[in-house]
Structures are given as structure tokens and as C-alpha cells.
Structure 1
């Protein structure tokens, strides 16, 4: 996952790899002295170091590495970063404050850089919210269905929205709008990395090729 996935097009194929080869893996034509149909582009890595993205919502698997275990079937854990990258997350033992352990995860930025008032109060909001009785394991037990890490993070987000005079988001709204699209990108990127690691390349018909085939039918 530390390698960059590169995409380039040749002979009506989109070719994904970690480096541009000297010849086309599909047709064998040498690239020496030739121009590719399109300049190679780098596919953005959807995984990030959560401790370097302040004021963000984070998603990571409960165990293992994100690339190896983020397969759509793994249990996921969520957290919120403060302005210094400390990850506040709710567990069976209450709210934890992690300085390490979230180096490879998916993030959703929650604050724009120009929202100075919110940035100045973010850590105070997060600390006060996390100290509430409902997150104290002695007062309210962790429940995997109804009182869990996702409820904690979403409740905090809605508290911030309320402080700004904005409407709250339902679990379905937030999940479908902000979480699912990023998980899909992460799953696709994971698949690309696996295919390239095993076969050196991942090759598919380019959209233009598919469109030409459809028009000819």
C-alpha cells in the first residue's frame, strides 16, 4: 500500500501497475521512442495516516492492517481526531485517546481550514463530549448494535452541527454520503494492489473501447 498505483492506456486497454514498463504487457510493443495514448496518471491512495489529519472522522478495521483486512467483511472501528491528531474512539472500556495505531485508515475531513472559530473550540468540544456520562462504561455499557464506536462518532458530529445551528445527520445519511463512497474506493484500490502484486499488471478494456464495441452492435 506504500507503493503508488499508476494507470496508463495502450491498445485500447487501461493498464494499472506500480511502474511503467518498457513495453506494453498486452501487445508487447516497445515504448522506447513512442508516446503513450495518455500520459500515465497516479491513482490517489485512499488510505491515510489518521494521526496526520486533524478534525476528521476515521474508519479502520478492528484488527490487522487496513489493506489486508478491509475487504467489506471485516469489523470496522471509527474515531475522531483532535487538532493534534490524537484519535478519540469509544470501546468497551470507555473512550480511548490513541496517539498511535491509526496510521492506515480512511478519513473524512470534518472542518474546513477557514473555519477558525470551530478549529479553536474543536478540542474543547471533543474533550467535553467524551467525558459525558453516556460514554462512561460504569454508567452505560458498550453495545455492538446500539451503543458503539459509530454511535459515538456520529453523535459528536451532530453535536458540532447543532452548535453551528445546522441540522443533524441520520446514520444512514452520513454513511451513504461520506463513508460508503470512501470504502468503495478503498476496496477497489486494495483489489488493484493485490492484482498488481500477484500479476505485475491489472488490465481492463478502456471505456472508449467498450463504447466502440457497444456502438458496433
Structure 2
């Protein structure tokens, strides 16, 4: 399987009283054409946090990616998504029409949600055995797969609830888990995708600075 192309890093800098986003710091401002080599701290470029991660480098995590293609290239906001659970070696266990798969590649651009709190070494030591034993049950045979009711999401959430039970915690319903953990990350990812593609198309992207939106210029007043 071909590894997905890694996204380029994004930066943000201030110029012309605007926020300007790009893949790298340009020599000249794309708005006014002036040299951008300012010594002002507030105009220095800052990196934009990438919401995607190489899932194979994540331990004991819930992963989310498009069923086909990648987030930055093919995903259109309506495409089907696929989910899985990593073991302690970054192998992604996921349920499909072929049964439980154990992927060593293919999840290099994923949204990741850690499932263990720091310091839970006892549970981490048992994680791989729990995941393997869970995946070997008849519930996840290929013929049991149903697109709407017994799918990859059912598999991951059922395992997560088994872990919560082992921790003595309350189980989570699909809606609760999705709204609490998945939606905040997918919203952030959606904004990042929009920004990334706009920069790819135009070379940069411009927004108003919050202080410019909320604070009127000095000397201005209402009529």
C-alpha cells in the first residue's frame, strides 16, 4: 500500500494589520509587496498546529481517516470515514467486510484520540492482549459486518467500553463519545483542510486580526 503524502507545514504571520497564512515565510508581503523581514516580535511567523498525525506512531489510540484517499487531498466533508484502534506498536486494528484487519501502513494521516491517561502502565501492559482477544471473538467475523449497525465504529466503541468497564468507569454511548471526543477534533481538522487547500490554490490566505475586527481605529467615532 502506498503511503499518503505528508502535508506541508503551515505558518501564520502578521503584516498589513492582517493575519497571513502560507507554507513558508515569503520574502515580500503578498498584499503590499514590502520586505517581510521585520524585527517586531508580533510580526514573527508562528507554526499552525497540524490536527493530523501518523497513526502508526500512536499507542493505544482511536484513529479516524477517510475510507478512500487522505484528508488533505480527497476528503470533501461528506466522504465515508473509517476508524480503528492502535496497539502499543502502532498496528491499527479495524473492522471491515473482511473481518478484523491489522494494518501496519495506511493510517499515516489520521485524527488521533488517546484512550489511556498518562501513567496507566498496568492497563497498557495488557492492552495488546485485550485488543487481540477482543478481535478474535465471533462478533467480529466477516459475515457479521453490516454497514449501518455492526461496522468499524461498532467495533471500536465496543472495545473502548470494555476498557472503561475494566477501569471501573461508565460506558459511553455512540452519540456521547462522538460529541465529546470526535466532533471537536473533526471540526478543527475541517478548518485546517479549508485553510490548507486555499493556500495551495492561491499561495497564501488572509484573515482580519481579532483586534482589528473589534477595536475601532483611533480617532474614529459614530456619526
- Cα deviation for residue 33 of structure 1 reads 5.1
Q: What TM-score do you get using the length of structure 1 for normalisation? A: 0.92
Give 1:64 deviation, angstroms.
1.3
- 1:189, 1:216 → 2: CA distance? 37
User: 2:210, 2:139 → 1: CA distance?
Assistant: 51
1:158 aligned onto 2:167: no
Please give the alpha-carbon distance, in whole angstroms, between the structure 1 residues aligned to 2:166 and 2:136.
Answer: 18
Matched, 1:22 2:24: no
Instruction: Give the superposed CA RMSD.
Output: 1.8
Does 1:147 find its partner at 2:150?
Answer: yes
- Segments of structure 1 that go 5 or more residues without pairing to the other structure are none
SS across alignment from 1:37? helix
1:1-217 equivalence runs, <5 A: 1-32=6-37, 34-35=39-40, 37-138=42-143, 141-213=144-216
Task: State the distance in 2 between where 1:97 and 1:3 align.
Answer: 28
TM (normalized to structure 2)?
0.90
Q: How has the CA–CA distance of structure 1 residues 216 and 191 changed in structure 2, closer, same or farther, with 3 Å as cutoff? A: farther
> Partners in 2 of 1:94 and 1:70 — Cα distance?
25
Q: How many angstroms does 1:68 deviate by?
A: 1.4
Partner SS state of residue 215, structure 2:
helix
- Partners of 1:40 and 1:32 in 2: how far apart? 10
**Runs of 4 or more above 4 Å deviation:** 213-217
Query: Is the Cα–Cα contact under 8 Å of residues 13 and 19 in structure 2 kept in the other structure?
Result: yes
CA contact (8 A) 2:67 2:82 kept: yes
Flag the 1:37–1:24 CA change in 2: closer, same or farther, 3 A: farther
**Structure 2 unmatched runs, 5+:** 1-5
Deviation per CA, 1:154-190: give whole Å up to 9, x if none: 1100100000000011111111111111111111111
What are the superposed Cα offsets for residues 57-106 of structure 1, whole Å, 9 maximum, x if unpaired? Answer: 00011111221123311100000000011110000111111111111111
Contact 2:84–2:92 (Cα < 8 Å) also in 1 = yes
* Contact 1:71 1:187 (C-alpha < 8 Å) held by counterparts: no
